[in-house]
C-alpha cells in the first residue's frame, strides 16, 4: 500500500454506518395538461427502527375509483385497510347516485381525513403512522390532497409544470430544481406530459440515491380524467443508464458495492455486519451507504463520498489491496460472476468467504450490472 493511501485511510471516524442508516418511501405527483403522473418506489419496511424490509415489490398506490388514486407512505397494512374502507364507501355512494363521479377526489380526501381523525382519537398521544395523497380529477381539473395525521387535507390545483411532492420531499425538490431552476411563469412554455413523466422517474431515482432504501425499481401510474393506467415499473439501474447524462456528475461521487444474495440472508444483523466491514475499508469519508438495487441474485449497494476525486482514490486503493491480497483470502477460489471478475473484489473471512465487488459508477459498469 502506498504511503498516501495509508495516510488517507488513517483519516476519519470509525463510527458505525448504522448511525447513517437510511429508510423511507418516496412518492411523487406531477400534474400535466391531460394526465397526473404518480411515481413511487417499491419497497415496504417496518417501523419504528430497525426498519426490517418486508417487501421489495410493494405497490405504493391504491385505486379508489376509475380516476382517483391514493399513494401510500408509512404503515402499508394500516393505510391499505383505511383506503379499502374509503373505496367501499365511495363505490356504494356512486352506485346509489349519492355521489357525483366528478367529485370523488374531494369526497375521498375528506373520508380519509375522517378515518385518520378517528384513529388518532382512539389512540391518544399517537400520530397516524402513515401519510397519503389523494390524486384525481374534479370537473376536469387536476386535484391533489395531502393528508398526514389529523390535520385538514391540503389541496393543490395546478396545471402544467407544477409538481406536488409526497414523501421523500427534500430530495425530490432538490432534483426538480436541478432540472427546472426557474419557477413556472405565465407565457413560459410548459413541459410536455412526456417530459414530466421522465422527470418524475429521475426525481425518484435521485431520492433513492440520496436517502432512501429501495427494492431497485420505480413505478409510474397515469391518472387521467377517465381512467387510471399503470405504466409499469423500471429498474433504477436502467433509469441511470438511459438518463446517464443527467446523473453523470453526481454519480462520480459514488462507488457500487455488489454482493450475492446467496451469500447473505438480508437481516438487520447482516446489514450491521456489512456496514461495519465497509466502513472499516473506507475510513476517509463515506457520507452514506445503502442498498439501491436488488436483482435476482445480487444486492447492489452505493457508497457516496464527498466528491469524485475521493471516490476515485478509494477505488484505486481497493484495487491495489485486492491485487496484493493483504489478508483477505484466496480470491481465485471464490465463485464470482465472469462478467465482474475483472473488477476489484475482496474475499472477507468475516463474511464467510463471500466476495464484495467494487466498481465506479460509470455507464459501462451500470450496463454490466444490468446484464447480471
* pLDDT one-digit tens code per residue, 292-335: 777 777 788 888 888 899 899 888 888 887 776 544 444 455 55
Superfamily of domain covering 252-370 = RRM (RNA recognition motif) domain (3.30.70.330)
Half-sphere exposure of 14 (CA within 13 A, CB side): 6
Determine the Cα–Cα distance for residues 276 and 162; give it in Å rounded to an integer: 42
pLDDT of residue 9: 42
Q: Which pTM was predicted?
A: 0.77
Q: What is the Cα–Cα distance from 209 to 301, expressed in whole angstroms?
A: 10
Residue 148: what pLDDT? 73
Which pLDDT score is estimated for 90?
93
Cell of 92: 356504494
Sketch the domain layout of the chain as residue ranges: 23-247, 252-370
pLDDT digits (tens, 9 = 90+) for 29-76: 888 778 888 888 776 655 544 445 555 667 789 999 999 999 888 777
Quickly tell me which residue has 456489512 as its cell.
274
In this chain, the answer to whether the domains covering 23-247 and 252-370 adopt an identical fold is: no
Flag whether pLDDT at 367 surpasses 80. yes
Examine residue 48 and say whether the peptide bond preceding it is cis (omega within 30 degrees of 0): yes
Give bridge partners of residue 346 from the DSSP assignment: 356
What are the start-end ranges of the H helices in the chain? 3-9, 76-95, 104-122, 169-179, 193-211, 236-242, 244-251, 268-281, 308-324, 363-370
Superfamily per CATH, domain 23-247: Aminohydrolase, N-terminal nucleophile (Ntn) domain (3.60.20.10)
Contact between residue 287 and residue 311 where contact means Cβ atoms under 8 Å apart: no
Phi, psi at 299, each rounded to 5°: -100, 140
How far is Cα 24 from Cα 36, in angstroms, rounded to an integer?
23
CA distance 256 to 269: 21
Return the SS3 of 311. helix
Sequence-separated (6 or more) residues with CB below 8 Å from residue 117: 150
DSSP assignment string, 255-296: EEEEEEGGG----HHHHHHHHHHHHHH-TTT--EEEEEEE-S
- Does residue 348 or residue 242 have the better pLDDT? 242
Amino acid at each position: 500500500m502506498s504511503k498516501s493511501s495509508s495516510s488517507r485511510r488513517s483519516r476519519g471516524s470509525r463510527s458505525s454506518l448504522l448511525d447513517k442508516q437510511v429508510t423511507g418511501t418516496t412518492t411523487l405527483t406531477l400534474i400535466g395538461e391531460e394526465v397526473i403522473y404518480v411515481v413511487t418506489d417499491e419497497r415496504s419496511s417496518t417501523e419504528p427502527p430497525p426498519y426490517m424490509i418486508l417487501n421489495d415489490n410493494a405497490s405504493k398506490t391504491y385505486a379508489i375509483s376509475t380516476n382517483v388514486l391514493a399513494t401510500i407512505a408509512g404503515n402499508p397494512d394500516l393505510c391499505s385497510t383505511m383506503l379499502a374502507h374509503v373505496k367501499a364507501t365511495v363505490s356504494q355512494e356512486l352506485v346509489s347516485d349519492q355521489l357525483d363521479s366528478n367529485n370523488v377526489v374531494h369526497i375521498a380526501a375528506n373520508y380519509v381525513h375522517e378515518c385518520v381523525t378517528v384513529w388518532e382519537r382512539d389512540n391518544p398521544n399517537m400520530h397516524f403512522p402513515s401519510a397519503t395523497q389523494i390524486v384525481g380529477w374534479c370537473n376536469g381539473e387536476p386535484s391533489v390532497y395531502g393528508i398526514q395525521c389529523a390535520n385538514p387535507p391540503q389541496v393543490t390545483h395546478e396545471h402544467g409544470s407544477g409538481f406536488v411532492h409526497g414523501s421523500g420531499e427534500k430530495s425530490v425538490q432538490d432534483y426538480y430544481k436541478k432540472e427546472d431552476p426557474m419557477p413556472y411563469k405565465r407565457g413560459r412554455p410548459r413541459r410536455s406530459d412526456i417530459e414530466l413523466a421522465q422527470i418524475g422517474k429521475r426525481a425518484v431515482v435521485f431520492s433513492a440515491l440520496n436517502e432512501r432504501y429501495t427494492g431497485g425499481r420505480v413505478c409510474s401510474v397515469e391518472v387521467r380524467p377517465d381512467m387510471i393506467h399503470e405504466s409499469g415499473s423500471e429498474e433504477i439501474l436502467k433509469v441511470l443508464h438511459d438518463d446517464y447524462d443527467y446523473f453523470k456528475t453526481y454519480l462520480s461521487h459514488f462507488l457500487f458495492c455488489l454482493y450475492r444474495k446467496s451469500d447473505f440472508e438480508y437481516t438487520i444483523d447482516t446489514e450491521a455486519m456489512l456496514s461495519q466491514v465497509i466502513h472499516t475499508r473506507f475510513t476517509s469519508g463515506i457520507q452514506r451507504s445503502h442498498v439501491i438495487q436488488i436483482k435476482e441474485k445480487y444486492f447492489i449497494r452505493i457508497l457516496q463520498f464527498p466528491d469524485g476525486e475521493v471516490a476515485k482514490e478509494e477505488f484505486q486503493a481497493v484495487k491495489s489491496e485486492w491485487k496484493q491480497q493483504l489478508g483477505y483470502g484466496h480470491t481465485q477460489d471464490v465463485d464470482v460472476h465472469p462478467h465482474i471478475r475483472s473488477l476489484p473484489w475482496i474475499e472477507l473471512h468475516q463474511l464467510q468467504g463471500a466476495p464484495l465487488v467494487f466498481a465506479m459508477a460509470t455507464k459501462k459498469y451500470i450496463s454490466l450490472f444490468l446484464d447480471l
